Amino acid sequence: MTVLYFAWVRERIGLPRETVDTEAATVADLVAELCTGEERYAAAFADLSALRVALDQELSDFDAPLEGVREVAFFPPMTGG
């Protein structure tokens, strides 16, 4: 699965994208799995209320299932004006 990071999430993790092998059932499970690896992930995902997630380019929730998903993207909320 491809995981994409945007804006300050990318800055904290230090990567724009990576390919991960995961057994995670939901987005929240994936986040927990990533956070066990390195401190930079824990820093990026410390406040999930400050993040949005898209699965295969569609906005989703952290409790969404990952079955069949090829791409997960994490980014801060967008503002317009």
Q: Which two tokens stand for residue 35?
A: 């956070």
pTM: 0.93
Q: Which two tokens stand for residue 43?
A: 């820093």
Provide the CATH number for the domain formed by 2-75 in this structure.
Answer: 3.10.20.30
The Cα 76–Cα 5 span in angstroms is 10
Q: Which two tokens stand for residue 47?
A: 């406040």
42-54 residue pLDDT tens: 999 999 999 999 9
6-20 residue pLDDT tens: 999 999 999 999 999
Which secondary-structure segment (H or E) carries 30? helix 27-35
Q: Where are the domains of the chain?
A: 2-75
Residue 78: pLDDT above 80? no
Displacement of CA 37 from its chain's centroid (Å): 14
Output the DSSP codes for 40-78. Answer: HHHHHTS-GGG-EEEETTEEE-TT-B-TT--EEEEEPPP
